[in-house]
Structure 1
Amino acid sequence: MIETILIAVENQRERMQPVIDHAAEMAAGLDADVVLYHVYEDEEFQSLLEARNIESADPDELARQNATVEAAAATLRESGVDFSVGASTGDPSDELLGYIASSDIDHVFVGSRRRSRTGKAIFGSVSQQILFETDVPCTLV
C-alpha cells in the first residue's frame, strides 16, 4: 500500500512538471501524502545564502521558496493532496537515498534528463543511482 510518495525536486521546472503531474495524479488516486524533497549542492546553498546576505538558513525554509517546489505545491493543492517540504545539503544522490532509507517512503518519483551512456558514466546520474540503490519502487519520468 502506498501512503507516502517522495518527489525528488530539482531546479528545472519545465522538466519537473511532468514528474509533478504524474505524482499528483497517483497520490490523489491513492489518497497518499507527498514529500517534496530538494537537495542543495553545497556550492548552490552557499550561493543562495550569499545572495540573501545571510550566514545560515534552514534548507527546508529555502526549499519552500524554490520556484519548482512552489509550482509542485500548487499542483498538489489543486489535486487535493497533502504534502510536506523537506530539503538538505550535500550530494543529491547520497542525500536522497539517505532520506528515503530513513523515512517511511513507499514510492519515489524522479525526473531524468537525456544523457548519453558516456555522459552518465562521466557525470553520474542521480536518477540512475536512486533506481539502482533503493529498494523502494520508483517511477522515472
Structure 2
Amino acid sequence: MYTALVPVDESETRARRAANVVTSLPGESDELNVVLLSVSEKKQQPWFTEAEINTTEGQPDQSVAPESVDVAYEILENHGASVEKRYEYGDPPKRILAVAEEIVADVIVMCSRRQSPTGKALFGSVTQSVMLESQRPIVLLMDE
C-alpha cells in the first residue's frame, strides 16, 4: 500500500491539480491510500466553526467543509484509490507534518500559491515550512 497525504486549502483548482498528480503516481490504483487533509488555523475558518457546531458522533460535520476537498475526493475515488477526508485545526505546517508522521505517508503532495518575498516574510508560508521540516518526500506544484 502506498500512502499519499494531500493537504487541501479552499482552492478547488489547487485541489484538482494535486489530486490529478496523485492519480499519476506509479503503481496500481487499488494499492493507493490517500488522506485529504484540510487544516483550519485556530478554528477561524467559517466552515470549521460550522462543522464543530454540527457534530456527529464527536466528529465535525464534513458536509460544511470546503468544496475543494470534495473535488479532490471525487477525482481520487473515481481513480480507484482508497480516500479518507480529515479535518483538523491548529498550526497548518505542524498539523500537516504530524498527520504525515501518524499515517506514515510515503509522499506529501502540495499545491502552493505564489507569494511575494514580502508576503512570505510577513505571513510565512505553509508550503515552505513543510518543505524545510519534513523528513518525507514532497511533490510540490506551483499555482499556474
TM range (shorter): 0.7 to 0.9
Deviation at 1:99, TM superposition (A): 1.3
Q: Equivalent residue for 2:59?
A: 58
Identical aligned residues as a percent = 26
Matches within 5 A, 1:92-111: 92-111=92-111
What whole-Å deviation, never above 9, does each CA across 1:17-73 have from its counterpart, x for those lacking one?
A: 21111112216656321111110122434x3366579376624x4378431111111
Provide runs of 4+ in structure 1 moved above 6 Å.
none
Cα distance in 2 for partners of 1:15, 1:83 equals 17
Counterpart of 2:37, as a letter, is Y
SS at match of 1:11: coil
Q: Give runs of aligned pairs for residues 84-99 of structure 1, distance below 5 A.
A: 84-99=84-99
Per-residue deviation at 1:9? Answer: 0.8
1:102, CA displacement in angstroms? 2.5
Maintained 8 Å contact 1:93/1:130: yes
User: When the two structures are superposed, what TM-score results if normalisation uses the length of structure 1?
Assistant: 0.83
Q: Specify the SS of the correspondent of 2:24.
A: helix
Pairwise CA RMSD: 2.6
Number of the residue aligned with 2:2: 3
Aligned residue-pair number: 138
Unaligned runs of 5+ residues in structure 1 are none
Residues 64 and 85 of structure 1 are in contact (CA less than 8 Å); yes or no, is this contact kept in structure 2?
no
